[in-house]
Structure 1
């Protein structure tokens, strides 16, 4: 497979193109389309001028519910988005990045039967993608050095013995240097917590095992209890608690995982895969994340997250993660004086399910 990294004049981006696999080339609005001879594999570069749209609108369009498509992963950051999807016979990967020149990205679609080969191709394309290759680098700041003159001796010319008036010396004006205060970097999100009562956060005990000094924002979190794979923390400045009802007897294995990350909260659709495990495209920081059924009922908490997850095209693909089930959570909370109740809601969309814990899912940092 010949893989060529090339500049695409139509979009302005640089990306890798497997030219032998996609020999058919044509122009599309704002980009270029490369396609295989049989039409089973399509790669497109895309671009949008500044002000014509934004990542929020593109993300909403890419994740909008469709009867014949399932969104398998979605990630939104201030400067880029990634969305992957599946249909009955195909898969897709989409990435957009925002910059001063607008938005640039690429999309690739292929048949599910090609996944073994094309999944690796997606990784290569994503790693080669440079949305704004001509973005000017920040010029180095060079301090100006004032010109100097030879110092005056203050002595009279030769032969002159009369009174000498000392030269007037004007003191140079010194501008005090501007001191930029050091930027304080907030603790990296290492896990997720759910505010279940005033001043109380429920999370996975695996976080306590790996970081004894957990924090909520800038505030330290005190470990009140840690057992059965769960931990109850105490912290100040928490949002209002939202403890959803417990998962009922629904036969559906569909799940929704709501996890914290550096940009806020991410929602990942998933499904139960065996006893006390969920398969979903979870990203770092998902340990302790609530696992909900499609009615918003609490079905468990993600027990732990691997230290070195496998990446595909820069993101973690769907994988199986251990879950602490809802009955263990109920017993643990009851021992701490926090009552639970069964969920009475009906199944709905992924967004509706995630709203059951809206505002109460927080990121947990670690101070080493």
Structure 2
């Protein structure tokens, strides 16, 4: 099969023939029809996360936002058949640990990060092996394409989980989303669909324009104001109810927390770079005296995907609206390189392998 293969940090991926995967007894193989190109791929490609054990080696295949058709199953698989149209969460659980059994499989004790570690080859390839297929494969509803669903594996469902499950978000609440990349734009669309009033904060006008199309009640260009957090406080007459840092740098995390009113909730979905090493400075005294909650959100348990599908069926959510373009496998390196300077808008999706 053809795959875009990692060679070295920051170097172009090499598109070449590699061996077809075989399913484990509990696993399956998916023929990939679409796969999003995500900033998490960029982090791994840059070598930002070796300290977290997410360190690709030469020959590794990145890509963790796939959708496609099952082409082979292992002998122990019961709920998946060849030909099924599926997506795959980037957090691969074993379905057996205490966390998986209590509805938290996105943080499985034996979690594997699809496409982000050598043990879990990814989906910038014609085929993808998926372990524990009964648990990790999510059947897609009829009438949706793989391209429409490609962002579900990471960005869209992370945004949904953060706002619908982790935060106590109510109708009419102000939500300040700092960073309007793929996950930030998804969060704006989700917040609007949930009845909240999202505000998009970014440095780029075209991203803010797309944020408005996806439901933002207001936007703030951080390069045009002295203090973007103060701008949010003014727009919300005292502070947002919920904030999100969708980027993972100190500036956006601090501004997001400072955008909140008293008793507000901050949702952190952006992960840090190697320079930060997982640590960001936050206004902790203000968080204490204003009783602000800090919440992490990592992916989403696959058993809750049906919540998104019901909203899609009702016309309230449209994951495809965040897809900005479709590209070929040979174009992945160019998109990763563009992410170095935040040069992509929305979610680019590979649909030519």
Q: TM-score range by the shorter chain?
A: under 0.3
TM-score, structure 2 normalization: 0.27
Name the structure where strand makes up a greater proportion of residues: 1
Larger relative contact order (Cα-Cα within 8 Å, sequence gap ≥ 6): 2
TM-score, structure 1 normalization: 0.27
Name the structure where helix makes up a greater proportion of residues: 2
